[in-house]
Structures are given as structure tokens and as C-alpha cells.
Amino acid sequence: MKKFNFIFVSIFILIFQILSFAQDKRYTKGAENGYMWIDYEKYSIMRDMKYDYLSSMLERQRVINLFQFNYDSLGCRDDIKNLLEQNKLNELDLSMMVKKIDQFYSDDKLRIVPIVFAYCYCIKELSGKSRKELTEYLIKILKFSESEE
């Protein structure tokens, strides 16, 4: 009987370890996060997947804005408007945003933050938000990212 219990417990522990390692850390609450963003570097042999991801995310936002004027799926619509108003010389492009998001995720602790929030953080930073406002936003998105569902 002891041998049977030992085998049963051993199998249970093995299954638990397999399942815990099987969780994909590239997602936070179903959204792609910084681990996914960093992984894009591994697969960007023929094209820039970060650029493609960001482009598709912004295209989705554009379509949402066309049909649902009061819905802000990114969470930083006002900051985007302010930044576009400030950007009279068209100095913003996706390549710059990719670099800003790369810079955001250079801190390993921030990689659990979904890409959409990293994008909004960068927009807020570029639009001139104060250090205090940026810190408050960062704390908010980290709490969201770390909390259990």
C-alpha cells in the first residue's frame, strides 16, 4: 500500500510540474506581453514582426474608432490626440514606436505588461506626461498585470 501511495504521489507531482511549466508566460490575461515582444526578435529573419504587430494593433484601433466613437480599446486615446497635435513635423513613425517599446521592455520586470499598455506608456511619455503621471500609470498597469483574474 505504501508503494502504491508513493507511486500515486510521484505521478501527481510529475503532472503538476509539467502543467506548471506548460503555462505560456508570453501572455498576461490573454494579451501578448513583453515576453512575446522579445520573442519576435528570434523570428524576425525575413521581416520585422514587431512592426507588423504594432501596425495591426493600430489598424484595429482605427477600425474601432470608425464604428464606435466612444470606445477606447487602447486606453490612451486622449494622449494619442495630444501627441498627434504636437507632432506637426511628422516625426513619429512605427519604427520609433518599436524602439520605444523595446526600451520599455529592456527592464525584465516590465515584460509581464501587455504590449498594448507598453504602447500607451510610450505614448504618454512622448506626449509629455509628468514623471508622477507616468509612475502612477506604470503602477496601475503593473498591478493589473500581476493580479490574478
144 closest CA partner among 104, 107, 116: 116
pLDDT computed for residue 21 by the predictor: 43
Per-residue pLDDT of 114-136, as tens digits, reads 999 999 999 999 988 999 999 99
Print the domain residue range for 100: 25-146
Q: Is residue 107 part of a domain?
A: yes
Q: Is residue 14 part of a domain?
A: no
- Longest C-alpha distance within the chain, in Å? 78
What pLDDT band is residue 107 in, cutting at 50, 70 and 90?
very high
What is the C-alpha separation between 58 and 4, in angstroms, rounded?
A: 57
Compute the average pLDDT of residues 111-116: 94
Per-residue pLDDT of 80-99, as tens digits, reads 877 877 776 666 788 889 99
Q: Is residue 6 part of a domain?
A: no
Q: Is residue 1 part of a domain?
A: no
Q: Is residue 103 part of a domain?
A: yes
Q: Is residue 20 part of a domain?
A: no
What is the C-alpha separation between 113 and 141, in angstroms, rounded?
A: 7
Per-residue pLDDT of 4-34, as tens digits, reads 454 544 554 545 444 444 446 878 988 889 9
34 closest CA partner among 122, 94, 137, 148: 122
pLDDT computed for residue 135 by the predictor: 95
Q: Is residue 19 part of a domain?
A: no
Q: Is residue 57 part of a domain?
A: yes
Indicate the number of domains in the chain.
Answer: 1
